[in-house]
Amino acid sequence: MNPVRLADVIATLDAAYPPALAESWDSVGLVCGDPDDTVTTVTIAVDPTAAVVDEAIDAGADLLLVHHPLLLRGVDTVGAHTPKGALVHKLIKTGCALFTAHTNADSADPGVSDALAAALGLTVTGPIDPHPTENLDKWVVLVPAGDADTVRRALFDAGAGHIGNYRDCSWSVTGQGQFLPTDGANPTLGAVGALERVEESRVEVIAPRGIRQNVLAAMRAAHPYEEVAFDVFEMATFPGPRGLGRVGELPDPLSLRDFTDRVADALPATTWGVRAAGDPEATIRTVAVCGGSGDSYLDAVSRLGVDAYVTADLRHHPADEHLRAGGPALIDVAHWASEQPWCDQAKGVLDTAFGHTPDWQVRVSAVRTDPWSVSASPS
């Protein structure tokens, strides 16, 4: 059995959490490590803190997979005299790679908010802020019936004809085409000055808009005609299953008081704790969740008409104004706690892909990287 290379793990992670989903300001992917190195042991954590790095190295990890980037903003040094540079040096010296899946994991399907929703017992119905479906073209190509398979194959080989888990998808109908070659033409069929009628196939395929030039070149190369009759239609997009946040339903309604208890029981304990805003006896059936800082979606969840919104890092004034405007009840949890369930989700992704490999081991970090360490109540 071939060993698992870091490149294989990266490919699996990129398929689960596509880098293209990352926000423009984000930094995701491989931070340090050789893609040709072998991986057998992985540690997963929310944050690449010094304690997490030490834990991963002590466990013999070949890869540390984290949610939050170590190097998010531009730096001009990773010297060992700097806190972050010291961690990079330590990882490299011990042969442990570092890989980040941040906002791409937030928007993936499933992603960070799906893990949070699952921890709370919600049945997910969609994102708070859905990404549109992929930009697609529909190609319509008219080709002599006897050459239709050749042109169709060329379109497929250029990347057209994929629908979900299906490939080589097309639709065809046969009709009669006609043309009259004029002076200067070099017709494949017929003669200059004579009207030609041909049995032709109308071949339809879809293709990502980003490969339009490749599809065009493949079609022209495979088509027997000097002048090709074709149409390209830009297809409409629709809200897709990917995007930030999730909306879900509880199996049974709960009061806000009881639902807050459920949230506290479902997530790892933190000094921050769990707090709610709203009528304690209000009935909660539908819930929006957003792992990490989610107060930018207060207006969005109000428009969705959910009963409660679970997120982290809520601020006083936005929360107060939201409730004054009649928005749903709010449940505020620690940032780290809201994203920690993702670690088990990512473990499942890797174990599904490589769990059959001898000596393969993935562990979720036991280090609590929530920065708050002390709380106090009035005496």
Annotated binding residues: 67-68, 106, 335, 339
Whether the Cβ atoms of residue 22 and residue 28 lie closer than 8 Å to each other: yes
- Phi, psi dihedral angles at 117 (to 5 degrees): -60, -40
**Percent of residues in the chain assigned helix, strand, coil, to nearest 5:** 30, 30, 40
Rounded-to-integer distance, Cα 196 and Cα 181, Å: 8
Of 150, 145, 169, 138, the residue nearest 219 (C-alpha):
150
Rounded-to-integer distance, Cα 11 and Cα 7, Å: 6
SS3 call for 301: helix
Rounded-to-integer distance, Cα 268 and Cα 369, Å: 11
Of 25, 32, 12, the residue nearest 93 (C-alpha):
32
Question: Which residues contribute to the annotated binding site for a divalent metal cation?
Answer: 67-68, 106, 335, 339
Cα within 13 Å of Cα(230), Cβ side: 24
